[in-house]
Structure 1
Amino acid sequence: MADQSGPVNSIDPYKNLNLIRNPDGTVTRIPHPKFPEVPATGDSVDSDVLSKDVPLNLANNTFVRIYRPKKATKDSNLPLIFYYHGGGFILFSPASLPFNDLCVSTALEIPAVIVSVDYRLAPEHRLPAAYEDAVEAVLWVKNQALDHSNGEPWLRDYVDFSKCFIMGCSAGGNMVYHTALRLSKLGSDQLQPLKISGLILNQPGFSGIQRTASELRLMNDPMAPLASMDLGKELSLPTGADGDHEYNNPMLKGLSESEIEAMKSQRWLVNFGGEDPLMDRQKEFLKMLEESGVKFVAQFDEKACHGSHLFDPEKALALLKALREFIY
């Protein structure tokens, strides 16, 4: 493997990501043509899946977008899936069209209630801000479940809180892992009546200082070019941290004994592809789980690119099939 200072492509990462860097260190996000924002449906639209936005933290200006199948009844007892979107920790929201569409399809096809979490973005809010927001969303749902009189009705009426899953794609897959670690430190009794029944990491975003073979082979990947991934690390990791920080490369440090025990108590699904620049790091992550005695299901598609499930109907159907088998 080569060092991160080694070969990179000639892509301008700011242009590739539709970003403008500001003198104060913030960025201006130019709307991305493939990721336009779409509104929630509300509860009266003629749609197979209904959605609505609910504030999460007014001070942080975060929210959750909740999805439920329209035909669900109050005795449906549907599983609940927390969903963390991708975007390198610097882009997008639950309202971004590809992530919205994935949640709609998941809610309908599993079927399930989805809580898609809006989290603070870097560089304005560097990690661990996103992890904190992810945990806050889980605890918010717990509070809704406990409030039998005034809790969010779409959760109270349609969800089996003993069947909760945490899912994320790319950066969101990274968040699933770090959220699970944080929740394990709280203890399962602090989450009741919620029970986390499984963790779903779809093409999780892990990397490091050294270049891997898959990164070099796919450095010009249209969805995740190496230069753009490097910029994502630069903007999202704590100030002064390098690519081997535990947020980005947890495999370097490994799991503590207490973390191993917590991870063993969970079911894991890791979905990854052979045409993803991050493939080698995802394999390292699976090796870490395996060497720690953590059981997992690995779903591998040799021809899957990074983010292909968002734009390729065949890949999306394969992901939904894997989700359904894992959840049920």
Structure 2
Amino acid sequence: MDPYKFLNITRNSDGTLDRSSSLASLTTPNSSLSKDLPLNLSLHTSIRIFHPNPNPNSNPNSLLPIILYFHGGGFILFSSSSTFFHNSCTTLATQIPALIISVDYRLAPEHRLPAAYEDAMDALLWLKSQSQNPTHPWLSSGIDFSRCFLMGSSCGANIAYQAGLRTTDMDLEPLKIAGIIMNQPYFGGIERTESEKMMVDDKVVPLAANDLMWELALPEGMDRDHEYSNPGKGDVVRMRKLGRCLVRGYLGDPLVDRAREIGRMLEKEGVRVDLKVDLEGHHGIELLKEEKLEELAEDIRKFVSACGLASL
């Protein structure tokens, strides 16, 4: 199969991409508010904030946790404004509930890794400044800056993980990272996992497309055993400092063994991990089936609540 055709991309002579990818989406619910804000003007990055509509049954004195969210797309596709990711964040904001901040990070190959990680850190530093002196009304009251979660789906989970590693050596006070949520995390390696071997021609993430996305995203000349792709090649000392992690996967996803691997790796280093592998589902299924998105939201709600109780 032609991975360029599968991904609906064309590579230009200057190394840039023409993108024409599309994906089915949920009907946009009107259950939360959203607003775009610039992040780094010189880099043309931005964030999209999602605030849940007030729930008359909720405690008016309760504070909303923050979820810093990174969308999927193999580092090369989509944005925070893509309909399916916008809809997902809208649903998550309402059902958890939480203030969701979706980062519109730079894409590869125009901006190869670690560009997306650097944009994630820009977002965290922006949040730190807001925790000290909020300039946006949605952040000036009703927000718990001591409960900030890093979350992503697919490559977004990779970004959340890498951002989490970088925060272990940073002073973000009064902002605190309470946990990391990795939904169907996008990791790789030269050696194939059993799930990758079994699902070479997967309809969502076929191996040829997977390899191409890594080729376009990693620094020039690097292979899939680079630490950005293979966490086993990364900084174990930083890994040990991570807080509680939620790792989710689906048995019908070629990347499911990568999810299991990162879960086991973190547990081995003493990190508390909540690992859930759903027997039914494929990569990105929550973008297509509302009931799967609701299941994801419920898992996150329980995780966020458990992390809050653990800090008391």
User: If the length of structure 1 is used for normalisation, what is the TM-score?
Assistant: 0.87
User: Offset at 1:74?
Assistant: 8.0
TM alignment of 1:223-234, pairs within 5 A: 223-234=204-215
- What is the CA deviation profile of residues 120-154 of structure 1, one whole-angstrom value per residue up to 9, with x for unaligned ones? 00000000000000111011011122124xx1211
Match of residue 56 from structure 1: 39
The aligned amino acid for 1:14 is: Y
Q: How many angstroms apart in 1 are the aligned matches of 2:45 and 2:60?
A: 28
Residues paired across the two proteins, number: 301
CA contact (8 A) 2:205 2:283 kept: yes
Deviations 1:225-280 (A, max 9, x none): 111111100000000001110100112x2543x324412xx111001111110111
Whole-angstrom CA distance in 1 between matches of 2:225 and 2:25:
30
Runs of 4+ that moved beyond 6 A:
none
Q: Indicate the residue corresponding to 1:105 in structure 2.
A: 91
Matched, 1:14 2:4: yes
The offset of 1:70, in angstroms, is 2.2
Does the Cα contact within 8 Å between 2:51 and 2:99 map onto a contact in 1? yes
CA distance in 2, matches of 1:33, 1:315: 16
1:286 alignment partner, one of 253, 258, 263: 263
CA contact (8 A) 1:85 1:93 kept: yes
* Paired letter, 2:227: E
- 1:29 and 2:19 matched: yes
Q: Name the counterpart of 2:149.
A: 165
Deviations 1:58-80 (A, max 9, x none): 11111000000121698541111
Structure 2 stretches of 5 or more lacking a match? 306-312
Question: For the Cα contact (< 8 Å) 1:130–1:175, is it kept in 2?
Answer: yes
Counterpart of 2:9, as a letter, is L
Amino acid at match of 1:164: C
Aligned counterparts, 1:268-287, within 5 A: 268-287=245-264
Kindly provide the amino acid, as one letter, of the partner of residue 238 in structure 1.
P
| Preserved contact between residue 260 and residue 275 of structure 2 (Cα < 8 Å) | no
Q: Which residues of 2 match residues 57-72 of structure 1 at below 5 A?
A: 57-71=40-54
- Distance in 1 (CA, whole Å) between partners of 2:235 and 2:106 is 27
Distance 1:77 1:202, change over 3 A: same
Matching of residue 153 in structure 1 with residue 122 in structure 2: no
AA paired with 1:196? I
Does 2:306 match 1:316?
A: no
Letter in 2 for 1:295: R
Contact 1:80 1:163 in 2 (8 A): yes
| Paired residue type of 1:224 | V
Moved more, 26-35 or 313-322: 26-35
State whether structure 2 residue 165 is matched by structure 1 residue 181: yes
Q: Which residue number in structure 1 is paired with residue 202 of structure 2?
A: 221
RMSD of aligned alpha carbons: 1.8
The alpha carbon displacement at 1:48 in A equals 2.2
The percentage of counterpart residues that share the same residue type is 49
Residue in structure 1 matched with residue 185 of structure 2 by the alignment = 204
Task: State the partner residue of 1:259.
Answer: 238
CA distance in 2, matches of 1:51, 1:74: 21
- Could you say if the C-alpha distance between residues 308 and 47 of structure 1 is closer, same or farther in structure 2, counting changes exceeding 3 Å? closer
User: Would the aligned equivalents of 1:35 and 1:92 in 2 still touch at CA under 8 Å?
Assistant: no
CA shift in 2, pair 1:255/1:290, >3 Å:
farther
Contact 1:299–1:322 (8 Å) recurs in 2: no
Query: 1:254–1:288: 8 Å Cα contact kept in structure 2?
Result: no
Q: Which amino acid aligns with 1:247?
A: Y
Equivalent-residue separation in structure 1 for 2:266 and 2:132 (angstroms): 33
Q: Which residue of structure 1 lines up, in the alignment, with residue 118 of structure 2? A: 132
Q: Secondary structure at the match of 1:275?
A: coil
CA deviations 1:185-223 (Å, max 9, x no partner) are 22xxx2111111111000000111122221121122121
Structure 1: state its 5+ residue gaps: 1-9, 39-45
